[in-house]
Amino acid sequence: MNVTIVDYQSGNISSVINSFTEAAKGKVNLEVTTDINKIKFSDKIVLPGQGSFRSCINSLNQVKGLVDTLKEFVITNKKPLLGICVGLQMFADVGYEEAETNGLSWISGKVSKIDNQKGKFKLPHIGWNEIEIQKESKIFKDIKNKSHMYFVHSYEFIPEDKSVISAITDYSSKIVCAVEKDNLFGTQFHPEKSDKIGLKVIDNFLKL
């Protein structure tokens, strides 16, 4: 099986590479690339994202043909893709970080700044927080509800269709921290920084 981590210069993704390498245990051919042909012929894709929504979208658009190739992979061919942090947020129609920016429009919704209740909650939301699993999800197989995951973000994805929400976390409000829609999976938390439970999320994705 070929799994591709899309490296489109969206920040340091070494921890993503390391954790996927550890979970794969040599049984998966792991590529880190923006090569369009390699992405097309992958079995699964991982779309990480660090920094702002706008900067990540701009970086994707700078790689010729990448956005169209990802759309074909996900929407036409319906192959599994996991978006991490801003990688999940980019599924949305629009984001409002830095400036209003069009997303990939894979799952209808928007990305807005977390309401910190006039400074009552610090932003960014950094550290370990409990997740509340909302529905049976393939990537949460054998993971207990109320497990703790690691977060670093100031913006949240608000999908129009609430049935795609697979987990939430409580920080100022009930924030969407994982989605699942058919072959699309996304986590706002960082599984690669979430110790053994995060590795289990990665392992579940690899075993889909």
Residues noted as catalytic: 85, 190, 192
Exposure of 94 by Cβ count < 10 A (0-12 exposed, 13-18 middle, 19+ buried)? middle
Identify the CA nearest to 138 among candidates 47, 44, 69.
44
Q: Residue 186 corresponds to which tokens in the numbers above? A: 């996304």
Cis peptide before 48 (omega within 30 of 0): no
Host H or E run for residue 150: strand 148-153
Within 10 A of 196 (CB to CB), how many other CB atoms are there?
A: 7
